[in-house]
Amino acid sequence: MKILHVNYHASGGGAALAARRLHEELLRQGCDSRMLVVEGAGTSSDGVIRAGTRIRRVCRIMQRLEHLLLRLDGGSRNCLPRSLNLLRTGIAGAIRAERPDLVHLHWVNGAMFGVRELAGLGLPVVWTLHDGWAFCGCEHHHSAGDERFRSGYRSGSDFWNVWNWRRKLSCWRDWRFRSVAPSGWLMREAAESILLNRSRPVCIPNGVDLGLFSPGDRAEARRRLGIPEQGRMILFGAASVSDPNKGGPELLYALRALAARKECRDVTLLLLGRGELPEKLPFPVIPLGFVGEERRLAACYRAADLFVLASKYDNLPNMLIEAAACGTPLAAFDIGGISDIVIPGRNGFLAPPFDAAALADAIAAVLESPQKLGAEARAHAERHFDIRRSAEQYRALYEAVLRERRPRAYPGTNSYSSGAG
């Protein structure tokens, strides 16, 4: 069977990384897999195809239009990303031109699809949800306490959320596809939503290469990175460490509280990602910058005594999975699907959402027994986050979806796809 993954970017962002890793593992398992993107590098040899110039130009124009329209809405309940996916861009034609047996959608915002265009693909579809946009209005994550994804966006001061949800309800009423959530939390929310409850959501975790992300000698990792071999090190990572949604202010508070404890004064903070924290800390900080090469990234995790994540909103963060696979224990807020990765007292500790003092306690608890927690972190990753197992689960789902579909003609052609490989 021929699978076409569709994601806005080839490598930028967590969804792109998860999609590309799955695509590459399917290739290793002998599947005919390709990946269609709007932005980012791709070559015919790696099976990543970039959409044509016209589609990219239309997407950029529509992004600017969406930005202007959303600025007019003063009723939005949070500051998280929002997308309208207003109009057709022609990406559906580019998909059909690849003649796939099945389309695997990933992160399809950035104005790359119109809402109606999605439902009109006319091909078997599996959609992996990397956030809540598919079942919310225009927000990618609903605000705390906002249950309208369950009951319906019937009213509200946030015009675009209400309007876009009603538009999805109308356009997707008869669209049949299967949805996948990487975390149990997101699967439950999708299953309870009005828009996606008929898509029979299942949970298939994002996976990593457990041979590449694996435990190793800490001193050697630190030498490779050119950082001191002695002392305890906390690793904090994010695509942009200065992004307020990544919890920089809460992390600063937690680390200051930690520094006041006599037993934690020998700590050094490693910063992994672009940017810097807005304020100085009472102990040394070593910026590692953005690390794209995965072998060096694995060395960053091995160099640390623990990995801390302070995100305010997240699904199943790749960084937590990667750190766990490298045998690095974890500390984080208990939000989204993070409890699928962090098992309190076994491979790390969780703090109640946005409670910085509790996050400091979680970090201190990890530092008391990092070796024991790290060993279980690796074992948990082996049980749940092996990319080979994730790919096998997706292949089984693809086959089930294709069995449910009768042979049908490609729109505008006389050729048929039976779903056979």
Domains belonging to the chain, first-starting first, are 2-207+386-417 (3.40.50.2000), 218-384 (3.40.50.2000)
Segments of 129-243 assigned E as strands: 178-181, 202-203, 232-240
What is the pLDDT, as a whole number, of residue 42?
65
Give me the pLDDT at residue 262, please.
82
Give the pLDDT of residue 154. Answer: 83
Q: How many angstroms separate the most distant Cα atoms in the chain? A: 75
Estimate to the nearest angstrom the gap between the alpha carbon of 232 and the chain centroid.
29
Measured between alpha carbons, how far is residue 128 from residues 269, 282, 299 in Å?
34, 42, 29
pLDDT at 12: 87
What pLDDT does residue 415 have? 42
User: Would you state the structure tokens that stand for residue 214, as one six-digit string?
Assistant: 């694996």
Q: 370-384 and 318-325 helices cross at what angle (nearest 10)?
A: 110
Whole-number Å distance between alpha carbons of 169 and 166: 5
Return all residues near 415 (Cβ < 8 A) that are at least 6 apart. 99, 409
Q: For position 279, what pLDDT does the model report?
A: 72
Q: What CA–CA distances, in Å, run from 14 to 11, 184, 273?
A: 8, 18, 13
Could you tell me which of 45, 122, 363, 91 has the C-alpha nearest to residue 232? 363
- pLDDT at position 38: 96
Token reading at 153: 């966006």
Q: In the sheet that 102-105 helps form, which strands lie side by side, from edge to edge?
A: 48-50, 32-39, 2-9, 102-105, 125-128, 178-181, 202-203
Q: Could you list the pLDDT tens digit for every one of the 421 residues in the chain?
A: 999 999 999 988 899 999 999 999 999 999 999 999 999 976 666 899 999 999 999 999 999 999 999 988 654 445 578 999 999 999 999 999 999 999 999 999 999 999 999 999 999 999 999 999 999 999 999 887 889 999 999 877 789 999 999 999 999 999 999 999 999 999 999 999 999 999 999 999 999 999 999 999 999 999 999 999 999 999 998 877 777 788 888 888 999 899 888 888 789 999 998 877 767 777 899 999 999 899 999 999 999 999 999 998 899 999 999 999 999 999 999 999 999 999 999 999 999 999 999 999 999 999 999 999 999 999 999 999 999 999 999 999 999 999 998 655 555 554 434 333 3
From the list 204, 187, 201, 181, the residue with the least C-alpha distance to 384 is 204
Residue 18, CA distances (Å) to 248, 340, 386 in order? 24, 16, 12
Q: Which residues contact 9 (CB under 8 A, 6 or more apart)?
A: 16, 37, 38, 39, 40, 107, 110
Considering the entire predicted model, what is its pTM? 0.92
Number of helices (H), then strands (E), in the chain: 14, 15
- The pair of structure tokens assigned to 94 is 């580019």
| Alpha carbon separation from 54 to 61, 64, 90 (Å, rounded) | 11, 16, 9
